Amino acid sequence: MAATNGQAQPDRTALLGVSGLTVRYGPAVALDDLDLTVRRDELFVLLGASGSGKTTLLRALAGFLRPDAGRIVLNGTDMTALPPHRRPVNTMFQSYALFPHMSVAANIGFGLRQQGVSRAETKRRVAAMLALVRLQDYGSRRPSELSGGQQQRVALARSLAPHPALLLLDEPLSALDEALRMETRADLVRLRRELGISFVLVTHDQEEALEMADRLGVMQGGRMVQIGTPADLYEHPANRFVASFLGGANLLPCVVAADSVSVGLPGLGACVHAERPGSPGPGLLALRPERLRLDGAGQANGLDGVVGDRTYAGDALSVTVRLADGSALRVKQSLADGLASARQEPGTAVRVGWQPDACILLPE
């Protein structure tokens, strides 16, 4: 909230405001005093492990469950007690839930007919949605005659046809193969930008979240742990959970000196230096695997170790390096110069190096 002449002004970029949302299933707390703001014209991704509360939050936003406490406000209207059909919100489910006996066009127009939209307007919107999802020639087909990716696009068109203020998507890409997932990610981002509708998308896939989100929120145990742009959360995680869950990070116990950038590693008898300051005292040093080099020459920081397991991943090798205290660092070694460039075999002594700007200092 901004203040002008002593008066609190509403955030006019906000579409959805959630405050103090709590949901309990008996003694279990599924959402714990959760706050969230979704802006107009953005794709907001909810990321978290199974059981973190993502789907419960989506169901509360859609009106499928009543929270035990808190408020849900959309476009300035309190929706907390409104049933689903009275909310300007649509949900695209993981299963797509297409009617098998209806044509593609009839599936897309179903919600419009339920709302009492005229036949002519329904026909116009269905045609526009078919064009938008690039299925102009498929309106007369049945869902069983479509591929999985085409069915997904029909479900999306049906959700968008009523022009909701907010679209909720629950793991929409989980049933698709990898090639189709990548194509559909791009389609979802394109459609959202063309229509100017805000999306809230639930996923457990970190790569999906980083690629698609304008902003994302990481959930754990019914709480929102951190919210920001993908780059913000990846480069500046708030704690060990975000650092580990989003992209994976090596974590080493450390002690930050009074100058905030000298970092002792007591278990390894080493001291390294960070570019970004941390809080003096015990903490954790987080290092992203892709920022580490197996040839430590020319790197400001380094630790000695022995190459362990190596895993081939097409464009890179994931290499485990065992350190003197028994801990390990995972190094992502680029194969841009081919597999022959990765010369370190298991058992090879190496020095893992990195620059000060790769150091992420976290609370203990």
pLDDT (mean) for 313-328 = 91
Question: Residue 196: which of 233, 150, 225, 164 has the closest Cα?
Answer: 164
Q: Which structure tokens are listed for 254?
A: 């450390």
Question: What is the value of pTM for the model shown?
Answer: 0.88
User: Which run of H or E residues covers position 77?
Assistant: strand 77-78
**CB of 318 within 8 A of CB of 330?**
yes
Kindly list the domain boundaries of the chain, sorted by start residue: 14-236, 248-363
Looking at residue 197, its pLDDT comes to 92
More confident residue, 97 or 290: 290
Integer-rounded Cα Rg, in Å, for the chain is 25
Confidence (pLDDT) at 8:
45
What percent of the chain shows pLDDT beyond 70?
95
Are the C-beta atoms of 192 and 20 separated by less than 8 Å? no
Residue 12, pLDDT score: 62
Contacts of 27 (CB under 8 A, 6+ apart): none
Each residue's pLDDT tens digit, 158-176: 999 999 999 999 988 777 7
Question: pLDDT band at 11, cuts 50/70/90?
Answer: low
Question: 266 is written with which tokens?
Answer: 């007591």
What does CATH list as the number for 248-363? 2.40.50.100
The CATH topology of domain 14-236 is Rossmann fold (3.40.50)
Which long-range contacts does 140-145 make (Cβ < 8 Å, 24+ apart)? 140/103, 140/104, 140/105, 141/103, 141/104, 142/100, 142/101, 142/102, 142/103, 142/104, 143/98, 143/99, 143/100, 143/102, 143/104, 143/107, 144/100
| Sequence-distant (≥ 6) Cβ neighbours of residue 91 within 8 angstroms | 58, 62, 159, 167, 168, 169, 170
Tens-digit pLDDT profile for residues 200-226: 999 988 989 999 999 999 999 999 999
Task: Tell me how far apart the alpha carbons of residues 264 and 120 are, in angstroms, rounded to a whole number.
Answer: 71
Which of 56, 55, 48 is closest to 242 using CA atoms?
48
274: nearest Cα among 344, 174, 361, 195: 361
Residue pLDDT, tens place only, 32-51: 999 999 999 999 999 999 99
